């Protein structure tokens, strides 16, 4: 079939709806002469008149009425296609995020709402102390503190981790006087094992005057949370994590340990909808979690 001038059908719609060539030309944003020529071309292609042009306006012929009805259907179909194109598509796939222990714990607590927003999008949380190699596709993204050691990645700040010294409620009640007097030498601590004594957290603990070496030590950060929750003594825990767990008393804030958290990915993945959806959701969820936290300790 020879190519049909579909745009000229839009001219017919404008003429029938406007009633005159002048009104139709305004609606179609073209000159009256151009609109008239295109109307002539449509009638030539159809082999008959579609409107009768009178001194008072344009009246559709029987052929014009039939073609007008079909053109309206085409217009509705085109509008439906446009709406479909403008509708956000469901995200499908998996984003594998590598993070350390605290960041992994935070991810697990912050991400459940993502499934309600994008049910076709999955997340795998891969926990390790050392960052995975994104160039070798060991993961899709890194949730880490500060910039990576390569320029091949792009990232965004998604939040900030803040730490404080915590005890469980029973321990805090039993050692209330010593805690109130900051008699650190009278208190027990939970911390990390010898290979990790140079971590910032352990160095901060040693700044507490007279504080004892942690009697309960473990080789993973979340183990400190487990020990404190069980009543083993005081320990440094990330604040959002501690308040999510509940049942803990914040004894002293540790602002020196605060760090920005960044979500990094390979440059080829940065603009993908699934990465951006996870990044945007994390930013929002992190802000909400911080807003819901208790005020600073006295």
Q: Answer yes or no: is 298 within a domain.
A: no
Q: Does 255 lie in the same domain as 194?
A: yes
Buried b (16+ CB within 10 A) or exposed e, 73-102: eeeeeeeeeeeeeeeeeebeeebbbbbbbb
pLDDT at 175 over 60: yes
18-23's contacts with Cβ under 8 Å and 24+ in sequence apart are 19/57, 19/58, 20/57, 20/58, 21/53, 21/58
pLDDT tens-digit profile of 232-264? 999 999 998 998 888 999 999 999 999 899 999
Angle between helices 6-18 and 32-46 (to 10 degrees): 120
- Report pLDDT for 52: 95
d(CA 5, CA 204): 77
- pLDDT tens per residue, range 42-80: 999 999 999 999 989 999 999 999 999 999 899 888 877
Residue 227: helix, strand or coil by DSSP? helix
- In this prediction, residue 87 carries a pLDDT of 54
76/19 same-domain check:
yes
> Are residues 106 and 81 part of one domain?
no
Q: How confident is the model at residue 136 (pLDDT cuts 50, 70, 90)?
A: confident
The count of domains in the chain is 3
- Asked whether residue 84 carries a pLDDT value surpassing 70, the answer given is no
Last residue of a domain, one of 60, 86, 112: 86
pLDDT at 298: 45
Residues 194 and 212 in one domain: yes
- Examine the pLDDT at 148 and tell me if it is beyond 50: yes
Q: What is the pLDDT of residue 293?
A: 63
Whether residue 245 contacts residue 145, with contact meaning beta carbons closer than 8 Å, is answered with no
Flag whether pLDDT at 294 surpasses 60.
Answer: no
User: Could you tell me if 151 and 121 are in contact, meaning their C-beta atoms sit under 8 angstroms apart?
Assistant: no
- The answer to whether residue 77 is domain-embedded is yes
Q: Please check whether residue 135 lies inside any domain of the structure.
A: yes
- Whether residue 285 lies inside any domain: the answer is no
Do 175 and 245 fall within a single domain? yes
- If asked whether residues 99 and 189 sit together in one domain, one would say no
Residues 124 and 271 in one domain: yes
Residues 143 and 170 in one domain: no
For 257-292, what is each residue's pLDDT tens digit?
A: 998 999 999 888 888 889 999 999 999 988 887 766
Its domain, for residue 123, covers 94-150+265-278
Does a structural domain hold residue 112?
Answer: yes
List Cβ neighbours of 50 (8 Å cut-off, separation of 6 or more).
12, 39, 42, 43, 60, 61, 63, 64, 67, 68
Residue 293 forms part of a structural domain = no
Q: Is the pLDDT of residue 297 over 60?
A: no
Whole-number pLDDT of residue 165: 97
- The answer to the question of residue 295 being in a domain is no
CA–chain centroid gap for 129, Å, is: 24
What is the per-residue pLDDT across 209-239, written as a single tens digit (0 to 9) for each?
999 999 999 888 889 999 999 999 999 999 9
Residue with tokens 């730490």: 163
Q: Are residues 269 and 254 in the same domain?
A: no
Q: Compute the average pLDDT of residues 129-144.
A: 88
**Domain's final residue, options 37, 54, 86:** 86
Q: What is the CATH number of the domain that holds 58?
A: 1.10.10.10
Q: Which residues contact 45 (CB under 8 A, 6 or more apart)?
A: 4, 5, 8
Higher pLDDT, 145 or 180: 180
Same domain? For 118 and 175 the reply is: no
pLDDT at position 129 is 85
Domain identity same for 142 and 176:
no
Identify whether 156 is part of a domain. no
CATH of the domain at 167: 3.40.190.10
- Are 232 and 202 in the same domain? yes
Question: What confidence score (pLDDT) does residue 78 get?
Answer: 83
Confidence of residue 88 (pLDDT cuts 50, 70, 90): low
The tens digit of pLDDT for each residue in 8-41 reads: 899 999 999 999 999 999 988 899 999 999 999 9
Q: Taking residues 179-204, report their average pLDDT.
A: 83
């Amino acid at each position: 079939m020879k190519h049909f001038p579909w745009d000229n059908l839009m001219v017919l719609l404008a003429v029938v709806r406007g009633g005159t060539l002048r009104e139709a030309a305004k609606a179609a944003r073209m000159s009256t002469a151009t609109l008239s020529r295109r109307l002539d071309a449509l009638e030539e292609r159809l082999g008959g008149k579609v409107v009768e042009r009178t001194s008072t306006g344009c009246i559709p012929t029987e052929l014009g009425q039939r073609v007008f009805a079909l053109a309206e259907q085409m217009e509705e179909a085109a509008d439906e296609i446009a709406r479909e194109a403008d509708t956000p598509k469901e995200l499908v796939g998996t984003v594998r995020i590598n993070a350390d222990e605290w960041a992994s714990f935070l991810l697990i607590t912050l991400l459940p709402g993502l499934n309600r927003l994008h049910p076709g999008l999955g997340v795998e949380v891969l926990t390790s102390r050392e960052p995975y190699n994104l160039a070798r596709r060991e993961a899709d993204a890194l949730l880490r503190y500060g910039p990576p050691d390569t320029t091949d990645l792009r990232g965004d700040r998604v939040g900030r981790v803040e730490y404080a010294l915590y005890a469980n409620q029973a321990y805090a009640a039993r050692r209330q006087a010593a805690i109130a007097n900051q008699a650190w030498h009278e208190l027990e601590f939970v911390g990390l094992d010898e290979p990790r004594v140079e971590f910032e957290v352990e160095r901060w603990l040693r700044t507490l005057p007279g504080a004892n070496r942690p009697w309960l030590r473990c080789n993973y950060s979340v183990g400190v949370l487990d020990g404190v929750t069980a009543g083993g003594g005081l320990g440094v825990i990330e604040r959002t994590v501690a308040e999510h767990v509940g049942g803990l008393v914040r004894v002293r804030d540790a602002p020196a340990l605060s760090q920005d958290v960044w979500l990094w990915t390979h440059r080829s993945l940065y603009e993908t909808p699934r990465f951006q959806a996870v990044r945007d959701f994390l930013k929002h969820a992190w802000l909400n979690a911080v807003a819901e936290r208790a005020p600073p300790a006295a």
